[in-house]
Amino acid sequence: MTAHWAAPDLPEQDPALGLALRQAIDGKAKPPGSLGRLEDLAIRIGLIQGRPDPRIGPATVLVFAGDHGMNAEGVSAYPSAVTAAMIGMFLAGRATVSAFAAASDVQVRVIDAGVAADFPGSDALIDAKLGRGTRNAAREPAMTSEECARALDRGFAIAQQTAHDGADAIALGDMGIGNTASASLLLHRLGPAPLDACIGPGAGHTADGLARKAEVLHRAAARTATTEPFEALRQFGGYEIAMLAGAALGAASLRRPVVVDGFIASAAVLAAIRLQPKLADFCIFAHRSAERGHRLLLELLGAEPLLDLGLRLGEGTGAVLAIPLLRAAARLVTDVADLAEVLG
């Protein structure tokens, strides 16, 4: 059995390029700094891509889906069958992320990482199923070491193929009833952070439901004291969360901006950053979720998201909404006149 996973190295970013991009932006036909954080975003995109003329054309959101055995303990307000039902909505183009992606000119690809159902073939679906849901992490490890490593590898390969297919930016989303429970445990161990500070209502728990969720997560956490990132993923993650972590690294390996959605995607990226710290320089956090643990996670990573709209849906919705900002920031460098042109 695989006892660990060796994270790949990632490309270096050139500080001299960052200075050149700053100089170019300061020389545009506008007051220096007048576009605020969009100027910083333009520089970040250029550094990620390793080019003085950043560009964001085609973009794809990868929505990884999986079921969680721990949902049998009542950690979600909804049954696991909702995961499969929502995949049907994605494939029909009727989910919220579908609408937002159409408005933002973003392609949607859905990955069956481990849903407890089967689906008809579709151009929008990637079948990467590792099982019909993970094991119950409140009672035993969610995955074997081999399964966790395979999930990381598959996510890595899917993101790389998406880049090869033409995506200039790769957004990460999720679907999996019960996966805020896994995200809370990952934040607790890999932040690290007190467990109670990591637990929120997820898809909409009542006070009683939230108390039950907390009790289950404390039981799960008591099984192991691990703080090692691969082992934490194996113990507490989902197939979709581990594939998300691999996808973040796969996108970064080919110099694609990793546009991170909300709490679950961020928890997966946290695990990936703990596996390969250089990944942090390739991530753009799309928004600050209303889910309690997300604000804490962003603070621990020192990340300032682009948007703060009170979203807590998942699906990649916030990441998709951020893509037009990336396109605008890149065009600031390439399309806006220099001040010298205006002054003659």
Residues labelled catalytic: 315
Side-chain-side CA neighbours of residue 318 (13 Å): 27
Which of 207-212's residues contact partners 24+ apart within 8 Å by CB, and which partners?
209/74, 209/77, 212/73, 212/74, 212/75
β-strand pairing of 107-114 with 125-127: parallel
Return the exposure string of 244-259: e unless at least 16 CB atoms fall within 10 Å of the residue's CB, then b: bbbbbbbbbbbbbbbb
109 and 251 Cβ atoms separated by less than 8 Å = no
Cβ neighbours for 14, distance < 8 A, ≥ 6 positions apart: 47, 50
Structure tokens at 200: 């929120």
Instruction: Using alpha carbons, select from 334, 162, 330, 176 the residue that is nearest to residue 242.
Output: 176
CA distance 114 to 291: 24
165 phi, psi to nearest 5 deg: -75, -5
Residue that the structure tokens 């460098």 belong to: 333
What 3-state DSSP class applies to 236?
A: helix
Output phi, psi for 155, to 5 deg: -60, -45
Residue 135 CA to residue 157 CA, distance in Å, equals 24
According to DSSP, the residues that pair with 110 across neighbouring strands are: 63, 125
The one-letter code for the residue type at 166 is: G
Closest by Cα among 19, 66, 59, 62 to 43: 19
CA distance 214 to 289: 20
